[in-house]
Amino acid sequence: MRGIDRRDVLSSPTIWPNRRMQEISAQFFVRVGEERALLGYVSLHEFNPNSGYVKCAVTVDREAPEDVHTAVVALTVNYAFAMWSIRKLYFWTPEPEVRGLAATGAVPAREGTLPEHLLDEGTLRPVNVFALYRAQWEETGVAFVESLVAGAGTREYLVDRGTS
């Protein structure tokens, strides 16, 4: 495999009608364990250095254990804040929360809800917009990632850049 196209599949016209494909700044496959089973995809996109934010999309197999969701979102958030001088990360999701993020101790603020914004199998669903600020992440998230890395012997996590 040669990687993923630089257009974010999560913001395709079939999912988000009337929106152009968005440039992505970073993208990763989510793989877990010795067998390197592919469990998901992560995208950091619509990076805006002038406004100090980037949008984050995390798609992980719903059947994956909760600690996998937590590790993936924590490593992705940590990557974004370490990589760029941004104030916040945005998460757009039809879910009532950003799965896995609360376990890091960093709770994002819900900045709004867009009613009937996502067409999901013929049904229009609302999309919740959450923002996680750098200060919140630095309070608890960094320590969480440090403890995750220190205890990585219990489960090996790999977030790769799309090569196999």
2 pLDDT more than 90: no
- Cα dihedral 110/112/118/120 (nearest 10): 40
Give the C-alpha distances (Å, rounded to integers) separating 115 from 29, 111, 163.
30, 13, 37
pLDDT band at 163 (very low <50, low <70, confident <90, very high): very low
For residue 112, tell me if it sits in a domain. Answer: yes
For residue 30, tell me if it sits in a domain: yes
Instruction: Tell me what the mean pLDDT of segment 59-80 comes to.
Output: 92
Assigned domain for 44 exists: yes
CATH number at residue 101: 3.40.630.30
Write out pLDDT tens, residues 20-51: 445 888 999 988 877 788 888 999 999 999 99
Q: What is the mean pLDDT of the chain?
A: 82
Torsion angle, alpha carbons of 57, 29, 151, 153, to 10: 160
Q: Cα(first)–Cα(last) distance of the chain, in Å?
A: 6
The better pLDDT of the pair 133, 121 is held by 133
Are 89 and 80 a contacting pair, CB within 8 Å? yes
How many angstroms separate the CA atoms of 75 and 103, rounded? 13
Decide which of 8 and 141 is more confident: 141
Query: Is residue 3, in this structure, part of any structural domain at all?
Result: no
Domain annotation covers residue 51: yes
Q: Which domain holds residue 20?
A: 9-160
Is residue 4 included in any domain, yes or no?
no
Query: Is residue 131 pLDDT above 50, yes or no?
Result: yes
> Which tens digits make up the pLDDT trace of 80-94?
999 999 999 999 988
Counted domains in the chain = 1
Model confidence band, residue 162 (pLDDT cutoffs 50, 70, 90)? low
Is residue 2, in this structure, part of any structural domain at all? no
